[in-house]
Amino acid sequence: MRDKYSGRIATRVALADGATVRKALVAAHRARPAMAAFPPDARRDVLEHCVRRFGERAEELALALCIEAGKPIRDARGEVTRLIDTFRIAAGEATRIQGEVLELQVSERARGYRGMVKRVPIGACSFITPFNFPLNLVAHKVAPAIAAGCPFVLKPAAKTPVGALIIAGVLAETDLPKGAFSVLPCSNEDAAQLVEDERIALLSFTGGLVGWELKTRAGKKKVTLELGGNAACIVDADPGADLDHVVERLVSGAYYQSGQSCISVQRIIAHADVYPALRRKLKAAVAKLRMGDPRDERTFIGPMIDEAAAKRVEKWIRDARKGGAKLLVGGDREGNMLPAALLENVPRDADLYRREVFGPVACLEAFDDFDDALARANDSDFGLQAGVFTASLAHAMRAWDRLEVGGVVIGDVPSFRVDSMPYGGVRDSGLGREGVKSAIGDMTEPRLMVIRDPS
């Protein structure tokens, strides 16, 4: 594994072969009864142990994240905080997986019958996670699985495996049953078993549009997908907040982690009344963003995950400019370092507008009518989250009603996420919802019991 800033080898990680992956799948399948019988309070205790240990190793985790992902150290510490939050939330949910009592006496023939439903673990799960949040996106699969009582096999991203392995080391300190978990860096070819093996009851994948192809290969198992977006943020004529605050949030949402986030602000749609001032303030703020060594506490823009990714974004910027877009802020790429870029009036058929850029770029445009702004935000193959800055309750409610996304954030950027909330999208953004409680719902299934009173 290479340091994403220096390019030097930082550490070496073992690569599991196909036989090892098969062994892990067999172990997870065999561990189903033991995990289902593992009491909820014991699952909670495992998760609380992780919370304590992650807190004790917080700086180590942050530095590993800084090196393996190139994430600026301040942001890396923030992700460690979210890792801890996610396990803490899961610890609370582990003893709150509720059932219900059903009234079955709906007609004369059902008199004397009672119904009760409990939720039981779905079985062995397979997880595939991406490079951009190698701690917290792992946590959003692993922590709910433990709370639900599901054994699992996890394949972390090839470019960022270290954080997942540290999490696995902490799990190994607990009393989880034998075979309950495996964390295996491996090739995509060997990981095919995680998709296709019939012993797996649920596949949870976070990554690119290849997820749809994985779904077709998954057979009978349940599949949840989080596949990205090109999030829009609308700034209304009265944004409901000071414009400097709006700019601060837009800059954070668009350029945090070099834009390598599924809910990064990619399209800014601003009312004509505020557009000139917003444009001027955005230009000044973006131009001041410091790019450099992610270990430096002052760095905001670190390296992209590799040079190929930076070259792709550079090309999309170049193509958009050829199509008539104006570059307001930007600079020359150096290896995998790409300065923050802000463009105006990007053509709607440009890759930079239509596809997920996953880089430090935002597109700015003006609107006159709020309904038109909503239509522009919906003009996308994706639908993960959207943001709306508005002082109008009517506009906020209309946005909630009409924006075709999994989540609408009023008064902030679409990049906002709390780890307990339902998170996911529609259309090409995926299928199903994450967030601890939602994930536990996917990892459990209802089991009905009917009792007849013979008296």
CA-based angle 121:205:79, to the nearest 5?
95
User: Which pairing describes strands 113-121 and 100-102: parallel, antiparallel, or unpaired?
Assistant: antiparallel
**Residue among 68, 79, 93, 226 flagged as catalytic:** 226
Tell me how long the chain is: 455
Burial of 104: CB neighbours in 10 Å, binned 0-12, 13-18, 19+: middle
| Cα four-point dihedral sign 356, 362, 368, 371 | positive
User: What are the E-state strand segments in 315-369?
Assistant: 326-329, 341-344, 361-367
Question: Alpha-carbon distance 290 to 249, whole Å?
Answer: 16
Is-catalytic flag, 50?
no
| CA distance readout (Å), 342 to 63, 204, 250 | 30, 34, 11
Residue 419, SS3 per DSSP: coil
Contact, 246 vs 254, CB < 8 A? Answer: no
Is-catalytic flag, 226?
yes
Using alpha carbons, select from 43, 65, 70 the residue that is nearest to residue 54: 65
To 10 degrees, what angle do helices 73-93 and 58-69 make? 120
**Residue among 50, 150, 186, 262 flagged as catalytic:** 262
Which residue numbers are catalytic?
226, 262
